[in-house]
């Protein structure tokens, strides 16, 4: 379970350190997405795949389902946590979340 909060800063290359406590539960490959409330959401790759399957089960005949699929998948990216424990946050997601320098990393059970 991913719990707790940590304050970090972006480095000059747009990277943040994923707290050790979270890295051990997320694994090396993660997916970052635009969240629903203007935040970024980081999930373990396998957790994202399960979530993706749920999203894809929604009817493509419904306009809201199509919008959700476009918003999630167009604004998600697979990332690898490097040997130092950093991820490089994509510029487009930094802009969407209005992140400039300081970042609060919050554990939300199965995602951060």
pLDDT tens profile 56-89:
888 778 888 888 898 899 999 999 999 999 999 9
CA–CA separation, 107 vs 6, rounded Å? 9
Q: What percent of the chain has pLDDT over 90?
A: 75
Longest dimension (CA), the chain: 45
Decide if pLDDT at 33 tops 80: yes
- Would you state the pLDDT for residue 84? 94
Q: How many CB atoms lie within 10 A of CB 30?
A: 23
CATH number at residue 66: 3.40.1550.20
pTM: predicted TM-score of the whole model, two decimal places: 0.89
Question: Would you say residue 55 has pLDDT above 80?
Answer: yes
In degrees and rounded to multiples of 5, residue 9 shows phi and psi of: -125, 145
Count how many domains the chain has.
Answer: 1
112 in a structural domain = no
d(CA 98, CA 96): 6
What was the pLDDT predicted at 56? 86
Strand duo 86-88 + 102-106: pairing: unpaired
**In-domain check, residue 30:** yes
């Amino acid at each position: 379970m991913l719990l707790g909060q940590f304050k970090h800063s972006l480095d000059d290359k747009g990277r943040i350190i994923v707290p050790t406590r979270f890295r051990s539960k997320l694994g090396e490959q993660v997916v970052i997405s635009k969240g629903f409330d203007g935040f970024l959401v980081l999930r373990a790759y396998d957790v994202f795949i399960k979530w993706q399957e749920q999203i894809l089960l929604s009817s493509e005949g419904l306009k809201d389902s199509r919008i959700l699929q476009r918003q999630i998948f167009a604004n998600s990216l697979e990332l690898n946590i490097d040997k130092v424990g950093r991820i490089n946050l994509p510029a487009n997601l930094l802009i969407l979340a209005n992140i400039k320098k300081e970042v609060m990393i919050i554990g939300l059970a199965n995602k951060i």
